[in-house]
Structure 1
Amino acid sequence: MTANAINGLLRADGKWQANDLDNPQQILVLNLMPTKRTTERQFLSTFDYLDHDVEITFLYPKTHSFKTVSGEKISRCYCCLSDIADKHYDGLIITGAPVEKLRFGQVDYFNELKEIIAWAHSHVTEILCECWAAQAVLNIENGVSKKLLDKKLFGIYCADEVVKSCLTAGLSAGAGLTMPQSRHTEITGFEDIVDLKVLASSKVAGPCILRNDDLNETFVTGHPEYSLETLLIEYHRDLNKHLPIKRPENYFVGIDEEEINYSWRQTSLQLYNNWLNLITQTQKVGINNERRKVSI
């Protein structure tokens, strides 16, 4: 189908379309990544392959100044919460961010993130949080903590256990569910939270997909949106900075860096498509519940 860009840097540069669509799903993306254009293209390109037409609106935290794009340009090409406070969206995606080594309270837009989440519960059907955002929102909603790993979790990892659900339809343990991971921390203290279900987990990477049905929230600890060469770029970035980094695991074909195994592509398409299907199902349940209230 088709993914439109309502705003964003690519739309402003004339590098992504805005076609006329018939009743597309409205998706809001809170883009916390410093590589704004790259992240925009990752989501737009992925959603362009799904079974639903979507229009994506890009959101930014007004309380943060990004080093990679001027404040004037980001405010012109993105929207902030006050711009959309009266609008309703089918879905909200919150990206990862390179702030995981900071305590949550040290992140300058953490309070604004709390405001966005509180607003989303009454203005968004489904919420999807990825990587650091998954850790942060789990902390906000459930008090889940995080801890620093001995070394960076970096590579492509398969899920060893997958629970059947709407979100994992068409996905299975092993090669049937693979995901890029690029993080220095992991969540702790989530096991005893009654409302939180682990839908997919890995012996190496830990929980991969978690779900809170009561709050219509999905948490993905990795980066399913990553394109083919994202980990390669991050690898060489860290090497050039003389940071302690090893080759991304399960990523290259063979011992050299000439070929990449794009093993997570189908997982990503299936997962995002399942999430869009879940939005439709959640909305139908909401309509039916309203009808029951009226009939009573």
Structure 2
Amino acid sequence: MAVIIPKDLPASKQLDRENIFVMHEERAKSQDIRPLELAIVNLMPTKIVTETQLLRLISNTALQVKVDLINMKSHTSKNTSHNHLKAFYKNFDDIKYKKYDGMIITGAPVEKLEFDDVNYWEELQEIFDFADKNVFSTMFICWGAQAALKHYYGIDKKDLPEKMFGIFEHKIVRRRPIVRGFDDVFYAPHSRHTQCRIKDIKKIDDLEIVASSKEAGAYLLVSKDQRKIFVFGHSEYDPNTLKKEYERDKAKGLNPKVPKNYFPNDDDTKKPIVRWKAHGNLLFSNWLNYHVYQTTPFDLEKLNQIDKEFGVNE
């Protein structure tokens, strides 16, 4: 099958060049199939880059997925054109009466701010409350995961002594459907200044740590009903994402450290080593398969009646 996106979305041409099959809305309407309804709340400033990265991973499945792109009404984007947002994005007012099989809430470069100082914090909290009742399974990424832990469980993020930046080794702590098929050891990118501490997470009975890193800390959490997935890294990143971030900070005179385990022998003149893409594809396909497709009710109106019959089998 395919991910269903507007024909003119920039990601459509890029995915086509990569021989990734996407379906345009006009063709999807002619098929008698109920696609999975998915929302991506894109908090990143480079929205076109992020939407392409996520759609690439969502496309790597046999399922048909229809995607709504969501941005914050209470925030004016400085890095994405108004025309792009107007053509392809909705805001919370447009979707607050809908129901979704799944939702992804991305990270955002606001982690140094207190949550209350983020200008769209109240609107994002509305989306968190909406997701709890109207979305079957939600994946929160990086700052999005930290924000969700604060909202749902009162867990505060903590400043790191230095930026967590590079590719880090992780190990499986508990075998759950979200990591089915994972190797015992895998790699994932991180780029953040804050963390949610393992000792604070362990105080919450509703949360399970599924994977963690000796250097990078908690990486993957699930709620006990397995409807909330928290990912503290960026498995969606392109091969050169960290390189571009590193070069940007160098150009600003910030004297950044070379991303760990990224360039061969830490030589930033060499091509980065990609060692996280297989894990990233499996993470998203597992989420769509085990946490969304196999468990969400066919009639989305039944989301108001969620109970144990919709649980995820381990």
TM-score (norm: length of structure 2): 0.84
Residues 7, 57 of structure 1: 8 Å contact kept: no
What CA deviation, in whole Å up to 9, does each residue of 1:131-186 have, x standing for no partner?
00000010000000111111100011121343100101011332xx2111000001
Partner of 1:10: 10
Partner of 1:259: 271
* Stretch of structure 1 that moved more, 41-50 or 177-186: 41-50
SS of match in other structure, 1:282: coil
- Give, in angstroms, the shift of residue 255 of structure 1: 4.3
SS of match in other structure, 1:156: strand
Question: Equivalent residues in 2 for 1:1-296 (5 A)?
Answer: 1-6=1-6, 9-10=9-10, 18-19=23-24, 20-21=27-28, 22-71=33-82, 73-174=84-185, 177-188=186-197, 189-214=200-225, 216-256=227-267, 257-277=269-289, 278-283=291-296
* Stretch of structure 1 that moved more, 240-249 or 216-225: 240-249
- Give, in angstroms, the shift of residue 84 of structure 1: 1.4
* Stretch of structure 1 that moved more, 95-104 or 272-281: 272-281
**Counterpart-to-counterpart distance in 1, 2:306 and 2:58:** 29
SS of match in other structure, 2:4: strand
Judged with a 3 Å threshold, the aligned counterparts in structure 2 of structure 1 residues 71 and 151 are, in CA distance, closer, same or farther, namely: same
* Stretch of structure 1 that moved more, 25-34 or 237-246: 237-246
- Give, in angstroms, the shift of residue 215 of structure 1: 7.2
What CA deviation, in whole Å up to 9, does each residue of 1:214-245 have, x standing for no partner?
47211000111111111111110111111141
- Give, in angstroms, the shift of residue 73 of structure 1: 4.4
Amino acid of the residue matched to residue 185 of structure 1?
Answer: T
Runs of at least 5 residues in structure 2 that lack an aligned partner in the other structure: 16-21, 310-314
Amino acid of the residue matched to residue 75 of structure 2?
Answer: H
Judged with a 3 Å threshold, the aligned counterparts in structure 2 of structure 1 residues 186 and 147 are, in CA distance, closer, same or farther, namely: same
Partner of 2:312: none
**Counterpart-to-counterpart distance in 1, 2:51 and 2:179:** 25
Judged with a 3 Å threshold, the aligned counterparts in structure 2 of structure 1 residues 77 and 205 are, in CA distance, closer, same or farther, namely: same
**Counterpart-to-counterpart distance in 2, 1:269 and 1:58:** 20
Residues 8, 78 of structure 1: 8 Å contact kept: no
**Counterpart-to-counterpart distance in 2, 1:14 and 1:270:** 24
SS of match in other structure, 1:92: strand
What CA deviation, in whole Å up to 9, does each residue of 1:240-296 have, x standing for no partner?
11114111111123443322221100000100011001112332697997798xxxx
Residues 2, 23 of structure 2: 8 Å contact kept: no
**Counterpart-to-counterpart distance in 2, 1:191 and 1:84:** 34
* Stretch of structure 1 that moved more, 117-126 or 48-57: 48-57
Residues 43, 105 of structure 2: 8 Å contact kept: yes
- Give, in angstroms, the shift of residue 105 of structure 1: 0.5
Judged with a 3 Å threshold, the aligned counterparts in structure 2 of structure 1 residues 290 and 248 are, in CA distance, closer, same or farther, namely: closer
**Counterpart-to-counterpart distance in 2, 1:210 and 1:8:** 36
Number of matched pairs: 289
